Amino acid sequence: MRQAVWEYVLYYLQLTVAGIFLLILCAYHIHVAQEDFLERGMYSENVRGVQVSSEYLVDVGGEDVQLQIPKLKQKGQFMLYKRLSEEYHEIIRGIYGTGDVFSYTDYLKQGRFFSTEDYENEMPVAVIGAEMLDRTYVEDGIRYFGYQNQLYEVIGIFEKTDSELDNTVYLNLTNLLNHMEHHGLYYLDGTDPKGIEQVWDAMKEYAEGKYTISEVAYEGKTYGLNQMNDTLLFCAVMAILLNLIVTGIFFVTRKKYTVAIQKMCGMTIKEQLLKYGKRMCQVVLAAGVSVVIFHSMFAEGRGFLSGWKELHWQQYGMVLAGMCVIGILLVYNIVRQVQNVDMSEALKGR
């Protein structure tokens, strides 16, 4: 019995370490995704350029045809940017989104990001980078950023990231287009390539017979860091699983005599599954609680663990699910080896 206790303690320690390591990989994944996003100039690998021509083919009702951005929101989740200024230490873009698709909120130091109401009500609001504060002024307790004789209330300020985001200003695109022509270069972006394709098709459909729209290749940086991180995660999980399976082999080898007695007494596979499964559930639960406690003790991450503080219940759920899967595989491995134990050889060895 004492041996069994220590073997389950070993399982607990291994699962706890595995859970912490998986949580660290989740934090690293968040960090890599953020670094990849910032290094691309706040665009994802799905971004595509959209050139809207100022040469209108026809007039409708005697008025220039306008880009109907709100109609696109029915096509999926996306962000649409209008390029205004891309100078050194000054990046100004109009922005419209169906939501906070790229989690800009996670980069905020103060205030908030654009809301659906801001876009729908065409509010003159802006979110700026940390280095752009000297381009603003405060009146009656409200900070403003000026662009082309229009004032935009600053509703959010990004934290310093030592990237282009520090020198970037985002202006509400639905308000911006009320004061300027709609032609120019836009960037369409999102997390789902198929969704981006649908929005692109809709933009072409709305433009047909009214104005010219064409795709422009995005000339930015590419890294592929997310693919590297996925490979690292897969290799790490396989290494953890292999280590625990090997432990299961020694678990059964050390208890062959006890296992042989149990089999002689008619212990069925179902009973073995229940016995070892119940104990493994307790081990997984204890390990999961330990992982949460460890994270709460070291909530502030630095360097490649800067994503540590961004971990939410989704990451906890994924790690716990991974630990449960490992636990199930371990129980299956133990029971399978128990069935392979030769009773006569085990009893003779006693």
- Residue 300 pLDDT > 80: no
- Which pLDDT value is given to residue 2? 45
Among the ranges given (52-56, 231-235, 320-324), the one the predictor scored with the smallest mean pLDDT: 231-235
Among the ranges given (166-180, 185-199, 241-255, 275-289), the one the predictor scored with the smallest mean pLDDT: 241-255
CA distances from 97 to 172, 178, 200, 261, 289 (A): 10, 17, 14, 66, 38
- Which pLDDT value is given to residue 136? 94
pLDDT digits (tens, 9 = 90+) for 245-284: 666 555 555 555 455 555 555 566 677 778 778 888 888 8
CB atoms under 10 Å from CB of 82, counted, come to: 23
- Residue 168 pLDDT > 90: yes
- Which pLDDT value is given to residue 321? 81
- Which pLDDT value is given to residue 324? 82
- Residue 91 pLDDT > 50: yes
Give CA–CA dist 155/111, Å, rounded: 6
pLDDT digits (tens, 9 = 90+) for 24-69: 777 777 777 777 788 888 998 889 999 988 655 444 443 455 677 7
Confidence of residue 309 (pLDDT cuts 50, 70, 90): low
Q: Determine the straight-line distance between the first and last CA of the chain, rounded to whole angstroms.
A: 16
pTM of the model: 0.66
If one compares 310 and 35, the residue with the highest pLDDT of the two is 35
Mean pLDDT value of segment 198-211: 83
Asked if 76 and 199 count as a contact pair (C-beta separation under 8 A), the reply is yes
Asked if 216 and 309 count as a contact pair (C-beta separation under 8 A), the reply is no
Q: Indicate the average pLDDT of the chain.
A: 77
Q: What's at 222, amino acid-wise?
A: T
Confidence of residue 241 (pLDDT cuts 50, 70, 90): low
Coil, helix or strand for 320? helix
pLDDT digits (tens, 9 = 90+) for 111-125: 999 999 999 999 999
String of DSSP letters for 114-135: --HHHHHTT--EEEE-GGGGGG
Query: Which secondary-structure segment (H or E) carries 281?
Result: helix 269-297
> What is the token pair recorded at 130?
């940390």
